[in-house]
């Protein structure tokens, strides 16, 4: 087994980690061939979350910004863009493309997750999701249940009963206080996020 704090390989009989001094009951069993998997740091998890939330909306942000700047510049130059159908068509096509992009992004993510257990954000920062019991890369079904279906259900309930927003906040911040850097959804579905 390995220490959950620093990832050092430990003997089964040891009560404390030889490197960082953590209690060995906090160690995780790693039945993988490498024998050593280090739990992902809290900062890396937050960075991966940022990328996974930011990349799908990036085209919308860019197009909205370009459109706003374009309108301001045209206003100061004195050009009427409202009556120009070509300019309107260009921005409508760009807007439709930016709305399609999140679906393309998630299809790409699903293919990536099925292969490596990593979303685009997790791949970017060098972490992946594993099954907490077996130490193997998590199945796409378990990944989707834990990281897509569960949050979607909670957000749906939150839109009806706002108190459920506390569950979303708690899930997000639980990682910061958990000794294995597990979010609530990780604990529910038996997953860990580890360094690649």
pLDDT score, position 125: 92
In the 8-state DSSP scheme, what is residue 129?
E
Tens-binned pLDDT, residue by residue, of the chain (196 aa) = 666 666 666 666 666 666 665 655 544 544 444 456 788 888 888 888 888 888 888 888 888 888 888 888 888 887 777 777 887 788 888 888 888 888 888 888 888 887 888 888 889 999 998 888 888 888 888 887 877 777 778 878 878 888 878 887 888 788 888 888 888 888 888 888 999 8
- What pLDDT score was predicted for residue 155? 77
Does the CA dihedral 141-146-147-153 come out positive or negative?
positive
Q: HEC string of 1-43? A: CECCCCCCECCCCCCECCCCCCEHHHCECCCCCCCCCCECCHH
| pLDDT recorded at residue 94 | 83
Q: Looking at residue 34, what is its pLDDT?
A: 43
Query: Which pLDDT belongs to residue 24?
Result: 54
The pTM assigned to this predicted structure is 0.62
pLDDT at 30: 44
Contact between 45 and 80 (Cβ < 8 Å): no
127 within 8 A of 24, measured Cβ to Cβ? no
- What is the distance between the alpha carbons of residues 146 and 193, in angstroms, rounded to a whole number? 12
């Amino acid at each position: 087994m390995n220490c959950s704090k620093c990832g050092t390989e430990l003997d089964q009989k040891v009560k404390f980690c030889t490197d960082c001094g953590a209690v060995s009951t906090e160690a995780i069993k790693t039945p993988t061939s490498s024998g050593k998997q280090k739990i992902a740091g809290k900062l890396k998890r937050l960075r991966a979350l940022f990328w996974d939330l930011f990349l799908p909306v990036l085209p919308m942000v860019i197009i909205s910004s370009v459109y706003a700047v374009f309108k301001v510049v045209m206003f100061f130059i004195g050009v009427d863009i409202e009556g120009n159908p070509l300019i309107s068509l260009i921005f409508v096509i760009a807007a439709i493309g930016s709305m399609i992009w999140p679906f393309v992004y998630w299809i790409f993510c699903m293919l990536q997750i099925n292969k490596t257990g990593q979303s685009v954000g997790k791949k970017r920062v060098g972490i992946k999701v594993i099954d907490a019991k077996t130490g193997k890369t998590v199945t796409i079904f378990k990944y989707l249940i834990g990281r897509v279906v569960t949050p979607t259900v909670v957000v749906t309930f939150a839109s009806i009963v706002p108190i459920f927003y506390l569950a979303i906040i708690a899930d997000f911040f639980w990682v910061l206080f958990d000794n294995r850097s597990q979010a609530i959804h990780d604990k529910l579905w038996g997953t860990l996020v580890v360094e690649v």
